[in-house]
Chain A
């Protein structure tokens, strides 16, 4: 069973709108939670990495939140741009990295 579950599987938003992606994890003992952006056919690029003591971390228009008690994280994209169209992967770390299946975001003009 995958230890990292992401939702939704995909979503379509209009340019300029906001959206929030969800990630639930079960890894233990928890070390850190990462979000990556992956353009089609390219390598993943790190957006944020948070330890259990961090509740929120921002990287430009991307803001990640972490609730280590409920083992949930979210990634909020503000004022979306066409270049935000990509797959967003949540990764939870214990002694190894567990990857979620990703959320595919499509931004339409």
Chain B
């Protein structure tokens, strides 16, 4: 199994809603990532988890709250988002958090904030 699975594929939410994005991998990877990608732009790193602990937070606003319940799962909790947060949110995993290993991306969750 070489897949990173993200749900939901599409999400529409209001600015007062609370929602979550989910990511799952069963490759035994120890590092998991959240990226944000706006249209026609490259992915921007948001968070890195290494061995289930948050190792990098790229100064992301607190309305985005990551969670890593176990080594296979990664969540991104969303609350009080702004319309400019609308984007494709990509989850990725790699064997370790060093930048030498292959990075596997999920298909992404397309988020629209109204």
Docked-complex contact B42 and A41, CB < 8 angstroms: no
Docked-complex contact A43 and B106, CB < 8 angstroms: yes
Least CB distance from A8 to B in Å reads 14
Instruction: Tell me the chain A residues, 67-109 only, with Cβ under 8 Å from chain B.
Output: 89, 93-97, 99-102, 104
Q: Is B100 an interface residue (CB 8 A)?
A: yes
Closest to B92 in A: A43
Task: Tell me which of A17-25, A44-52, A55-63 binds B.
Answer: A44-52
Docked-complex contact B42 and A45, CB < 8 angstroms: no
Chain A residues near B104: list those with CB within 8 A: 46
How many B residues face the partner with a CB closer than 8 A? 21
Docked-complex contact B105 and A31, CB < 8 angstroms: no
Chain B residues near A89: list those with CB within 8 A: 42
Using C-beta atoms within 8 Å of the partner chain, give the interface range for chain A: 20 to 34
Task: Give the contacting residue for B103; candidates A46, A94, A100, A101; CB below 8 A.
Answer: A46
Docked-complex contact B107 and A101, CB < 8 angstroms: no
Instruction: Tell me the chain B residues, 3-33 only, with Cβ under 8 Å from chain A.
Output: 4, 6
Q: Is A1 an interface residue (CB 8 A)?
A: no
Chain B residues near A102: list those with CB within 8 A: 40, 42
Task: Give the contacting residue for A101; candidates B42, B45, B100, B105; CB below 8 A.
Answer: B42
Docked-complex contact B42 and A43, CB < 8 angstroms: no
Chain A residues near B90: list those with CB within 8 A: 43-44
Docked-complex contact A96 and B99, CB < 8 angstroms: yes
Q: Is B110 an interface residue (CB 8 A)?
A: yes
The 7 tightest CB contacts between A and B, nearest first, are A99-B42, A43-B105, A93-B99, A43-B107, A44-B105, A43-B108, A43-B106
Q: List 24 A-B contacts (CB under 8 A).
A: A31-B99, A32-B99, A34-B103, A41-B110, A43-B6, A43-B90, A43-B92, A43-B105, A43-B107, A43-B108, A44-B43, A45-B105, A46-B103, A49-B102, A51-B100, A93-B100, A96-B99, A97-B99, A99-B42, A99-B44, A100-B42, A101-B41, A101-B42, A104-B40
